[in-house]
């Protein structure tokens, strides 16, 4: 009986130890699996489509952008943004006045290669189609054309070929999310073009992605509110306007004549006011951060993101404009903090944005 008990006791012991080992092993396996999933999620997150992207980007192109993006390590939403700017997703004329061709509007010499004898200046207006689309010639002349659908021809008029070729072109200038602007400038030598594509890239990303892409400047939990400019034209406090004294309750960030540039949330928060053009502020968005701070974004081009939207620092909340009592394209930005006795009061935004202004 005694012996039986001992045997039984050690069996229980073995079972317990065995169980613990099993749990440990399972734990490690889970740790690894979730660890990897995390990594993937983060990767995906830096190129996660926004709601606008889901509404605007035609479904049939998405698998092609993704494949091309993976092949060349180019953000797929950037390819979608280029496609949007170039031909509105292949819905308009696909030969430009300067002879850019196909779905992604590449110049014939970029496609075939600038070593081709006829390629000087813009050149390439009379390249025979058979040469331009021959993968071997493209390799000889160092072009970006790709035969992605494997039909033996690399053609700017075929969706897959065109999108892969664009990715191939961009890939020679960028590293993942770095150097996007340089790569876009190389693709189409115009600053307006770069801003146009970046505008859509930002719209199509869910906001956090913007941080990773270096589009929005972020320090800690705060983002600079107008990614493309830091030109302050008016500070907080008393000033004279048209000969009259007035109190200016925020700072003005000038936008040149760049109407429509993105304005982003200063911190994580929730939109509590999103007003149409109803007064001095014009189109106004107010975001509440926690329960002790508000930020105001005024004179937007059109009504911003709706009330109730949960936003992340750096997420686009509206476009720069000159609505309301305003004489030029600018953002009027205010910071309000909670008073001890309740309610909010305006404060000088400068201490809050100082980190972005370099002093």
**3-class SS letters over the chain:** CHHHHHHHHHHHHHHHHHHHHHHHHHHHHHHHHHHHHHHHHHHHHCCCECHHHHHHCCHHHHHHHHHHHHHHCCCHHHHHHHHHHHHCCCCCCCECCCCCECCCCECHHHHHCCCCCCCCCCCCCCCCHHHHCCHHHHHHHCCCCCCCCCCCCCCCCCHHHHHHHHHHHHHCCCECCECHHHHHHHHCCCHHHHHHHHHHHHHHECCHHHHHCCCCCEECCEECCCCCCCCEEECCEEEEECCEEEEECCEEEECCCCCCCEEECCCCEEEEEEECCCCCCCEEEEEEECCCEEEEEEEECCCCCCCCCEECCCCEEEEEECCCCCCCCEEEEEEEEECCCCCEEEECCHHHHHHHHCC
Half-sphere exposure (Cβ direction) of 60: Cα atoms closer than 13 Å? 4
In angstroms, give the least distance from the CB of 345 to Zn ion.
Answer: 17
From 6-14, 163-171, 192-200, 329-337, span contacting Zn ion (CB under 5 A): 329-337
On whether the CB atoms of residues 92 and 68 are closer than 8 A, the answer is: no
Interactions with Zn ion, residue window 40-79 (CB under 5 A): none
On whether the CB atoms of residues 104 and 206 are closer than 8 A, the answer is: no
Interactions with Zn ion, residue window 241-300 (CB under 5 A): 252
Shortest-Cβ-distance residue relative to Zn ion: 332
From 82-90, 193-201, 285-293, 332-340, span contacting Zn ion (CB under 5 A): 332-340
In angstroms, give the least distance from the CB of 250 to Zn ion.
Answer: 5
Nearer residue to Zn ion within complex by CB, 48 or 347: 347
Exposed, middle or buried: residue 176 (CB in 10 Å: 0-12, 13-18, 19+)? middle
Residue showing tokens 């620092």: 313
In angstroms, give the least distance from the CB of 271 to Zn ion.
Answer: 20
Nearer residue to Zn ion within complex by CB, 27 or 279: 279
In angstroms, give the least distance from the CB of 201 to Zn ion.
Answer: 29
In angstroms, give the least distance from the CB of 249 to Zn ion.
Answer: 7
From 75-83, 116-124, 287-295, 327-335, span contacting Zn ion (CB under 5 A): 327-335
In angstroms, give the least distance from the CB of 233 to Zn ion.
Answer: 9
Nearer residue to Zn ion within complex by CB, 171 or 264: 264
In angstroms, give the least distance from the CB of 238 to Zn ion.
Answer: 13
Locate 265 and state its tokens: 């949330």
Count of positions on this chain that bind Zn ion (CB under 5 A): 2
Nearer residue to Zn ion within complex by CB, 199 or 332: 332
Using rule CB under 5 A, residue 212 touches Zn ion: no
Using rule CB under 5 A, residue 332 touches Zn ion: yes
In angstroms, give the least distance from the CB of 327 to Zn ion.
Answer: 10
Nearer residue to Zn ion within complex by CB, 212 or 252: 252
In angstroms, give the least distance from the CB of 195 to Zn ion.
Answer: 24
Nearer residue to Zn ion within complex by CB, 114 or 356: 356
Nearer residue to Zn ion within complex by CB, 196 or 252: 252
Nearer residue to Zn ion within complex by CB, 198 or 254: 254
Nearer residue to Zn ion within complex by CB, 134 or 252: 252
Binding site for Zn ion (CB under 5 A): 252, 332
């Amino acid at each position: 009986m005694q012996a039986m008990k001992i045997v039984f006791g050690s069996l229980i012991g073995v079972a317990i130890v065995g169980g613990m080992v099993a749990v440990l092993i399972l734990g490690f396996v889970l740790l690894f699996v979730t660890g990897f999933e995390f990594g993937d999620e983060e990767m995906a997150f830096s190129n996660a489509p926004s709601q606008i992207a889901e509404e605007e980007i035609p479904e049939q192109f998405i698998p092609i952008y993704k494949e091309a993006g993976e092949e060349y390590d180019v953000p797929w939403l950037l390819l979608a943004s280029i496609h949007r700017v170039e031909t509105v997703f292949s819905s308009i004329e696909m030969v430009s006045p300067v002879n850019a061709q196909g779905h992604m509007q590449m110049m014939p010499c970029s496609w075939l290669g600038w070593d081709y004898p006829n390629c000087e200046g813009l050149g390439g207006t009379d390249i025979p189609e058979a040469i331009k689309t021959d993968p071997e010639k493209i390799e000889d002349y160092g072009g970006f054309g790709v035969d992605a659908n494997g039909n033996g021809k690399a053609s700017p008029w075929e969706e897959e070929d065109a999108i892969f070729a664009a990715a191939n072109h961009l890939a020679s200038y960028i590293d993942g999310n770095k150097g996007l602007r340089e790569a876009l400038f190389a693709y189409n030598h115009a600053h307006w073009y770069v801003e146009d594509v970046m505008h859509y890239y930002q719209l199509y990303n869910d906001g956090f992605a913007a941080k990773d892409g270096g589009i929005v400047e972020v320090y800690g939990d705060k983002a600079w509110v107008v990614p493309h400019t830091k030109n302050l034209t008016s500070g907080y406090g008393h000033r004279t306007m048209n000969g009259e004294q007035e109190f200016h309750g925020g700072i003005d960030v000038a936008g040149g004549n760049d109407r429509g540039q993105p304005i982003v949330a200063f911190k994580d928060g929730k939109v509590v006011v999103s007003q149409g053009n109803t007064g001095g502020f014009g189109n106004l968005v107010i975001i509440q951060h926690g329960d002790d701070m508000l930020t105001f974004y005024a004179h937007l081009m059109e009504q911003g993101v709706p009330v109730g939207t949960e936003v992340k620092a750096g997420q686009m909340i509206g476009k720069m404009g000159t609505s309301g009592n305003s004489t030029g394209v600018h953002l009027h930005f205010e910071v309000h903090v909670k008073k001890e006795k309740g309610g909010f009061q305006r404060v000088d935004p400068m201490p809050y944005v100082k980190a972005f202004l370099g002093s």
